[in-house]
Structure 1
Amino acid sequence: MIVIAVPRSEIEGLSVSIVVYRPDVARLMSTLASFSAACDALRALHPAFSVELYLIDNGDLPDIDAALQDLRAHDITCSIVTGHGNVGYGRGHNLAIAQTGHRYHLVLNPDIDLDRDALVRALDLFDSHPDVGLISPRIGDEKGGLQYLCRRYPTLLDLFVRGFLPAGVRRFFARRLARYEMQDVINDRDTIWDPPIVSGCFMLFRTRVLTKLEGFDARYFLYFEDYDLSLRTHDVARVVYAPVVRVRHHGGGAARKGAAHIRMFLASAYKFFNRFGWKWL
């Protein structure tokens, strides 16, 4: 069993980093409000628990001072990290990871809403399983349905079918995609140990694991940085899919975001397969 030692210098608390680039302000406000509510539930049980938010401005962050003042009123320390330009998703999070001294760190998308008890249940899991370094939650869609965002190791065909084929054609690959998305094991009830890849929209780490891995690989500007980090995490700690930890995700896929995102997706896929091995069919 892997046991992750806790350095005495760690602050008993949680930091969270959210990277934004031209954000949907209403969606970001919803994310911040749900995070604040989850912190309130956590503090009801652990009044001295420290919480710090890093908002990484990769470009065009509007004035959200009122929202940050509300978070500060809930004893959440807030910092906007700005002036570095659009350095990409992983490098943006790394700016916060390099600064935090808290025991836990949450990598969070600005399109995620946390259930009120999500952080309470996640920290209970960390407390009961000292070998766990990364928790992935049950991720619901806007209607409450389950999103299958855990992954087995992808093939090029899996990525092409899921990302770029129209729905009418994708149905002919339904069994293949279901296996890639781990639909045979991921559900609303069962804790799944060591899924190969988990989604970067919500990754709750023991910070010591993140610092040991040196955070995200900065060679990925966007896409596949979570695949890379998931696979590397298995080398130093256990990963768990925990459906008792629940969030809702409002994001979309690369193919629906235009040519620039498709080019970034393909460039990152090339880097990923070059590092971990090509798998075609």
Structure 2
Amino acid sequence: MITASLVLYHNDPEEYGRAINSFLSSVPTGEIWVVDNSSNPLENALFDDPRVHYIYNGENLGFGRAHNKAISQIPPSSFAHLIVNPDIYFERNVVPELEAALSRNPEVGVVMPRISYPDGSLQRLTKLLPTPMDLIFRRFLPSSWMKKKLNSRYELHDLPDGQEAEIPSLSGCFILVRTEALRRIGGFDERYFMYMEDVDLVRRIGDFSKTLYVPSVTAIHSYAKGSYINPKLLKFHIESACKYFMKWGWFIDRQRSQRNAVTLARIANINNERKICKHSDSGT
């Protein structure tokens, strides 16, 4: 059985309705928990569907804490749990193919598909474990060249589009998590109100399982990047980043250094192998 959870906060009903319908149509026996953090209860005919479980909190609990309310209610029969944003939609084959990836790879704990903008272009959501430079300092660098260089490394621009790979940080906008792994770590760390909770969750799963990028299927994400334009959201982002580095280490984080180095070396090997194959095919 596949379960899912989605957190709302004054969202557009057409938008989150598309996300819910994407799940219901692609997982005929699946169940989804919709957790509403809005000031007043949202109304939607989809909430009457027997496979949709609507939870109204009456307050804004934040992203991770709200998802944890759903996770605490998923049945023992759940094999994998989809964490999905309300501004996501996807074709019917996406979740079944991600489920298959988990089924054939018992060592994998979480998978993420290719995430694209509505125009089809790639969203670079496969990343290294962040450093303070990646999350905080680059925002305020005056040099666009330096920002581009930092982004290229942090967002793994050298990973060929369409290449399946183990990635240490996957975006919580759309991840399918082995339910056993989710329960093992106790869900999201609730000290993060908003932002960084997904980085923390995937990192903790990565302590004992592989975290896999599966670009053979794609989900569409509107992705407003709210913290880039809203000062209040930027404040939340910086506060969460500080909490993350207080937990894992600001400048000394051996696990981060090791996982990032392994990831960069793996991508370099992929590119070298592609070059060799290209030269062999061309007869040079």
TM-score interval w.r.t. the shorter chain? 0.7 to 0.9
Match of 1:143 among 103, 119, 122: 119
Match of 1:277 among 249, 256, 259: 249
Q: Secondary structure of 2:199's match?
A: helix
Q: Counterpart in 2 of 1:5?
A: none
Asked if the contact 1:21/1:61 (under 8 Å) is kept, the reply is: no
Higher relative helix content: 2
For residue 164 of structure 2, what is the amino acid of its counterpart? Answer: T
Q: Is 2:215 the partner of 1:243?
A: yes
After superposition, give the CA deviation of every residue in 1:45-66 in whole Å (9 maximum; x if it has no partner). xxxxx311100011144210x2
In the alignment, is residue 179 of structure 1 matched against residue 158 of structure 2? no
Question: In the alignment, what sits opposite 1:120?
Answer: 96
Distance 1:203 1:113 in 2: 13
1:1-281 equivalences under 5 Å are 13-39=1-27, 43=28, 50-59=29-38, 60-64=40-44, 66-69=45-48, 72=49, 77-101=51-75, 102-160=78-136, 163=139, 169-185=143-159, 187=161, 189-193=162-166, 195-279=167-251
Distance 1:270 1:68 in 2: 37
Tell me, in whole angstroms, the C-alpha distance in 1 between the residues paired with 2:187 and 2:215. 25
* SS of equivalent to 2:170: coil
Could you say which structure has the greater relative contact order, defined with CA pairs below 8 angstroms and 6 or more residues apart?
Answer: 1
Deviation of residue 25 (structure 1)? 1.7
Identify if the C-alpha distance between structure 1 residues 165 and 175 changes in structure 2 by more than 3 Å, giving closer, same or farther: closer
Contact between 1:53 and 1:77, CA under 8 Å: does it hold in 2?
A: yes
CA distance in 2, matches of 1:21, 1:192: 33
Bigger-Rg structure (1/2): 2
Q: Deviations over 1:103-152 (max 9, x none)?
A: 21111100111122101211111121111110011001111011111111
The answer as to whether partners of 1:107 and 1:204 remain within 8 angstroms in 2 is yes
Segments of structure 1 that go 5 or more residues without pairing to the other structure are 1-12, 44-49
| Matched residue, 1:3 | none
Secondary structure of 1:126's match?
helix
Aligned-partner Cα distance in 2 for 1:27–1:275: 35
Alpha-carbon shift at residue 197 of structure 1 (Å): 0.7
What is the percent sequence identity of the aligned residues?
A: 32
Task: Give the paired residue count.
Answer: 249
Structure 2: how far apart are the matches of 1:172 and 1:130? Answer: 40
Aligned AA for 1:192? Answer: A
- The Cα RMSD (Å) is 1.9
The TM-score normalised by the length of structure 1 is 0.83
Instruction: Tell me the distance in 2 between the aligned counterparts of 1:227 and 1:186.
Output: 22
- TM-score when scaled to structure 2? 0.82
CA distances 1:178-232 after superposition (whole Å, capped 9, x unpaired):
1100111152x21102x11110101111111001000000000000001111111
In the aligned structure 2, how far is the partner of 1:159 from the partner of 1:212?
A: 28
Query: Is contact 2:141–2:147 with CA below 8 Å preserved after alignment?
Result: no
* Alignment CA distance shift 1:171-1:254 (3 Å): farther
The amino acid across from 1:108 in the alignment is: V
Task: Please say if residues 107 and 200 of structure 1, whose CA atoms lie closer than 8 Å, have aligned partners that are also in contact.
Answer: yes
Amino acid at match of 2:68: N
Distance, in Å, in 2 between the alignment partners of 1:163 and 1:149 is: 17
CA distance in 2, matches of 1:57, 1:162: 33
| In 2, Cα distance between equivalents of 1:246 and 1:279 | 35
